[in-house]
Amino acid sequence: MSMLHLHNGESLLDGELDFYPAAVIQPDPLFDILHQQLPWHSDTITVYGKEHRIPRLQCWLGDAGLAYTYSGKTLHTLPWHPVLQQLNQQLNQALGLNNNSVLCNLYRDGNDSMGWHSDDEAELGPAPVVVSMTLGAERDFALRKKGETRMFAKLPLSHGSVLVMKAGMQSRWQHALPKRAGIASARINLTFRQLIQDTAAV
Ligand SMILES: O=C(O)CCC(=O)C(=O)O
């Protein structure tokens, strides 16, 4: 049974983004299942030799044997949750992709965030198409051109939305999920990605 309807997408940022504001057919139960059942954990990253706890919970699931390197750490994907595997298959089919993993982020409230970056790790290949699904609290997705400090645009990502970051986006733009005072409820973001096996770290 299809969990998605990917119709009436808006093309944004000169075609670098496709946005489907209400793509998930039943976003409330999907949020609850993933909130309760995913193996959320609190991770650290090392910046200039110092460990920092990242301001959100996360987990990375996917096909067996995949690994990725993120801020100097090599992590192996955990096995798919069946619902996420089904969603990935449906997204791949609808969009003509071969994504094989999903990075799941849980922003517990408006104090959780993600800093400026591009999804440009070597394992993603030179022109990844990253599919980003939002469930729960609406938060702004901020965009700026690479090499600039000024924010270019903010896109509010609605409950049940799907944002497709197309090939080219990661080489030209950075994105971030800024803190938002006053948001007390949680948001889940799922970014479906293809980890390219033969360049993946082991
Ligand atoms: O939570 C979001 O919408 C952004 C997630 C993100 O930037 C990422 O996973 O690389």
- CA 50 to ligand 1 center in whole angstroms: 23
The per-residue pLDDT for 200 is: 44
Chain segment 78-111, per-residue pLDDT in tens? 999 999 999 999 999 999 999 999 999 999 999 9
On whether the 10-193 domain is CATH 2.60.120.590, my answer is: yes
Ligand 1: which of 189, 190, 193 to mutate, judged by most atoms within 8 Å of the beta carbon? 189
Chain segment 25-67, per-residue pLDDT in tens? 999 999 999 999 999 999 888 888 888 999 999 999 999 999 9
Chain segment 137-187, per-residue pLDDT in tens? 999 999 999 999 999 999 999 999 999 999 989 999 999 999 999 999 999
Concatenated DSSP letters of the chain: ---B---SPEEETTTTEEEETT-BSSHHHHHHHHHHHS--EEEEEEETTEEEEEEEEEEEEESTT-EEEETTEEEEPBPPPHHHHHHHHHHHHHHT----EEEEEEE-STT--EEEE----GGG-SS--EEEEEEES-EEEEEEETT--S--EEEEE-TTEEEEE-TTHHHHEEEEE---TT--S-EEEEEEE---GGGS--
Ligand 1: which of 132, 135, 158, 180 to mutate, judged by most atoms within 8 Å of the beta carbon? 132
Residue 132 Cβ contacting ligand 1 at under 6 Å: yes
pTM surpassing 0.85? yes
